[in-house]
Structures are given as structure tokens and as C-alpha cells.
Amino acid sequence: MTVTEETLVERPASLADASDVLRDTGGPLLFRGAGTKQAWGGRPAPAVVVETSSLNRLLAHNPADMTVAVEAGVPLTELQAVLGEHGQWLAFDPPSQTAGATVGGLLATGDSGPQRLRYGGLRDLVIGATVVLADGTVARTGGRVIKNVAGYDLAKMMYGSLGTLGLVAEVVLRLHPLPATSATAVLRCSVREATALTVALMASALEPVAVDWVQTGDRPVDDGRLAVRFAGTAAGVAAQRNGLRTVLTSADAAPEWLADAEEQALWAELAVRHGPDRDDTLASAATLPTRTVDVAEALARAADTAGATAHLASRPALGLNTVRLTGAPEAVAQAFTAWRTSVMAGGTGASVLLRDRPAAVDAGVDAMGPAPSSAPLMRSLKNSLDPDNRCAPGRLGSWY
């Protein structure tokens, strides 16, 4: 849904305001941070839009305990700048942060970045959250208790819920020290070679903070570039660099090492491959890391058959893949559907989410696809927290 002049937009400036807005308005609700992921999943019904742009305060920062509490509308880049002054950071680097993504929006969408490999996702860094339910009830987990929701971990429930359970209003986060230095090894290789090298790397004693592969050839199974990043103390990074030589004995060429500005530029470029897009169709797939080659081959077949162009960016150590499809809407829809069917048929636990895409693509594709086995539990949770289905109805398609 796109916010227009005719859409009713509420911008609460406090937790009490947010509670009043949800309690006093009727009908569907759509929650919005910076709007970087409004196209994810299904298209929600027209709704009152509740923006968190005015919920943008840093509530508390305790450098000694390495925790911070913020309102949900704080942009991640602004938070990182404040924390950096104390030699700390939220160990989290999603590609949408440069587009202004907010802490609350990132929690609600479950977005993540390459250093999830080392630090986990945002759900692993959240130690408390305050949520406003559809009827205006304020519920908090962690810290001071306004109201306990017995048996529920609100922070974990909100992660990846796409705004279907309630409004994330405040978040308490665990911090890490900023690493003293970092370095990235870059190798030219196919997706098959990248997967084999990644498997060997993760079986070794080395501890990379990020591993990314991006397609540089014409097809997802062709040439690409593998980036392996290490961070920590200067001595630790040097030891990791030396250790990588042993892992790469099967590689045809020695890696190119990047640091400082060149390294930052590389990871900024890689973030674009995973980041939001309003023109092409973007989709993501989560599978077992060992299935990265299967994902790429299925994508190449689907795109070739449909007459679409496909580009793959993968985090092979995590089994996370971002696909960019271009072409006629009918061809893109056909390619995406065939690729999703193949990925989900290849093993249990796979998930495929449709993200940014032109509206014309929706006519030929099921945005959410088959419901997961957890759908009954999800519906039960939804009925408990939002019995009138006010929060983002249609966001999860036919799931609930």
C-alpha cells in the first residue's frame, strides 16, 4: 500500500499517543517506519497508516551495561552514530539502513545483514520491547512491566510479523564493542565453487563475520564474486587472514584483500544487491546453506523458461538468497512462481518471500504461496492479540 494524500495518516509522538490512536480509530491499521519494506508479502487492505517518524527518541543508553533503549521510529543509521561515539554499535547491518530503515521496522520485518553470520539477527539482540496492540493495550516484555502478556515473548513474536500483530513502539537492545579493524578477502568464483569454499570455511576454526557471493555473469550459475570478511583486533584479523590460506588451497587464485575505504565501498555495493528496489521484482529465499547451488540452478531454469532476467545475491553460510527479476510482468511472475515451487519442493524448512515488485506482477503471482505448517499456530496467536484482524489485513495473504 502506498501512502497518498487521501490516506489517513497518524503520527503519534509518544507511547500514550500511540495507544490512543489505536484505541480510538476503527478499521484496518497499517504500521509504517521509513516505508522501506511496505511491499513485502501481500498487499494489505486500505487502512489508517500509523507512522513512527515522531517516535524517534533515544530513551536510555547505558554504556557500562552495553544496552540501549529507543523508540521504534529511530533510524538505525542515527542510532549507530550515537553509539559509535562511545565505541559501541548495534551489531546489525541490514541493506535497507541507508534508505532510512528504523529500528522498529527492522524488527517487524525480520530484515538482516551480512554480519548476521557472526552476531545473529535483530531478534538475538533485542532484550525487551513495548508493543501497542490493536485495541490500544500497551504490553511490555523486559524491564519495567506495564502489562505482562503471560506466556508470550513479545520481542520474538514481533520479529518478522510484518506488522500483523501490533505496533512496535519501543525496543531495548544489547550492544557490542566496535571492532578495532577488519579486512575482506575477495575471490572470483562460480556459485558452486563459492558454496564449496564456504562449507570448508565454516568447518574450519576461522570465524568470519560475513560471507557474501554475488552473481557477476549473465546467469545465476555463472561467474560471481565471493567476499569473506573478518573483524576484531588487529592481531586477531591477521591470524584469520593467515588461516584463510589453508582453507583456500583448492582455489584457483589467491584472494584480493581489501581494507579501509575500499572494503567499505565493497560492502556498500553488496548491500545494494540485497537492498530495496521499486522497479525490479525482488524476492528472498531461506534454505539450508548446502542448497545454495540448487537455489541458483532452479533460478536459472525458471528465468530461462519464462524469458526473464535473473540476478542472484547469496549469503551461502546462512542459506539466505536475494533474487532480482526483470522483464515483462507476466514473465517475471512465471519465473518467480516456478523458482519458488522448486525451492520449496527441495527440502523442509525452506521459505520464499516476495518483496518489492511492480503492481502488475501481482496479477500473475501468489504473493505468499503455500502456508507453512506453523500457520495454525500463527492464526491462533493472531486471534489472541488481534481478534478483529485490524493489523495489516492481507499482508500475509491466505495464511490469515
- Using the predicted structure, report yes or no on whether residue 290 has a pLDDT greater than 70: yes
Give residue 145's pLDDT band: very low, low, confident or very high (50, 70, 90): very low
Percentage with pLDDT > 70 across the chain: 94
Length of the chain: 400
DSSP letters spanning 156-194: HHHTT-TTSS-EEEEEEEE-EEPPSEEEEEEEEEEHHHH
Mean pLDDT of the chain: 92
Average pLDDT over residues 151-164: 86
Average pLDDT over residues 239-266: 89
- Using the predicted structure, report yes or no on whether residue 366 has a pLDDT greater than 60: yes
pLDDT of residue 372: 85
d(CA 244, CA 225) in angstroms, rounded, equals 16
In this structure, are residues 321 and 295 in contact, taking their beta carbons and an 8 Å threshold?
Answer: yes
Strand 256-258 and strand 138-141: pairing? unpaired
pLDDT of residue 294: 95
Task: Report all structural domains of the chain as residue ranges with CATH numbers, in order of start.
Answer: 50-177 (3.30.465.10), 181-264 (3.30.70.1380), 281-364 (3.30.70.600)
* Residue 293 cell numbers, joined: 547451488
- Using the predicted structure, report yes or no on whether residue 393 has a pLDDT greater than 50: yes
DSSP letters spanning 341-360: HHHHHTSTT-EEEE-S--GG
- Using the predicted structure, report yes or no on whether residue 7 has a pLDDT greater than 80: no
Average pLDDT over residues 157-170: 95
Average pLDDT over residues 256-273: 96
pLDDT in tens, 46-84: 889 999 999 999 999 999 999 999 999 999 999 999 999
pLDDT in tens, 184-196: 999 999 999 999 9
pLDDT in tens, 211-250: 999 999 999 998 999 999 999 999 999 999 999 988 887 6
- For residue 207, the cross-strand partners are none
In this structure, are residues 183 and 257 in contact, taking their beta carbons and an 8 Å threshold?
Answer: yes
- Read off the pTM: 0.92
Most confident range (mean pLDDT) of 1-5, 147-151, 385-389 is 385-389
Give residue 151's pLDDT band: very low, low, confident or very high (50, 70, 90): low
Helix 292-306, helix 329-345: angle, nearest 10? 150
pLDDT of residue 143: 57
pLDDT of residue 245: 87
pLDDT in tens, 81-129: 999 999 999 999 999 999 999 999 999 999 999 999 999 999 999 999 9
Q: Which of 182, 258, 194, 264 is nearest to 222 (CA)?
A: 194
* Residue 171 cell numbers, joined: 525496543
In this structure, are residues 396 and 389 in contact, taking their beta carbons and an 8 Å threshold?
Answer: no
